[in-house]
Amino acid sequence: MPELIVYYPRHDGCRFDRDYYEVTHMKVVKDAWEPTGMTGKQIFWPHDDAQPFACMIAISFTDNAAIDASLSSSATPGVMADVGKFTDIKPGIYRTD
């Protein structure tokens, strides 16, 4: 199943609001991308602050066309605009088949 892996690499003094991410941002993502083929998600939290990422998430889709549809949807700018509300980290995105 195709996935988008989104990761947030730490930097000195970075900010990441875990509660906002889990409760609010995940609802924004679900509302935006479920209609275009998102099927689920799995969030990975670091064991401690020595880990290189503040958070990683695997977002599953029905197929690659669903990823394309989600990323190009009119709701995606809202997903991206919400990122600044919980972190100052620029996320990276890795796409799988």
pTM score, two decimals? Answer: 0.95
Per-residue pLDDT of 10-67, as tens digits, reads 999 999 999 999 999 999 999 999 999 999 999 999 999 999 999 999 999 999 999 9
Distance CA 85, CA 31 (A): 17
Domain coordinates of the chain in residue numbers? 7-85
**Alpha helices by DSSP H, 1-97:** 18-20, 26-33, 64-71, 76-82
**What is the distance between the alpha carbons of residues 42 and 7, in angstroms, rounded to a whole number?**
12
At residue 69, the pLDDT reads 98
The two tokens of residue 26 are: 């995940």
* 87 bridge partner residues: 16
Query: 19 near 78, Cβ under 8 Å?
Result: no
Read off the pLDDT of each residue in 72-95 and give the average, rounded to a whole number: 98
Query: According to the model, what pLDDT value does residue 75 have?
Result: 98
Find the mean pLDDT for residues 70-97.
98
- Smallest CA-to-CA distance from 73 within 61, 90, 84 is with 61
Looking at CATH, the fold of the domain delimited by 7-85 is given as: Alpha-Beta Plaits (3.30.70)
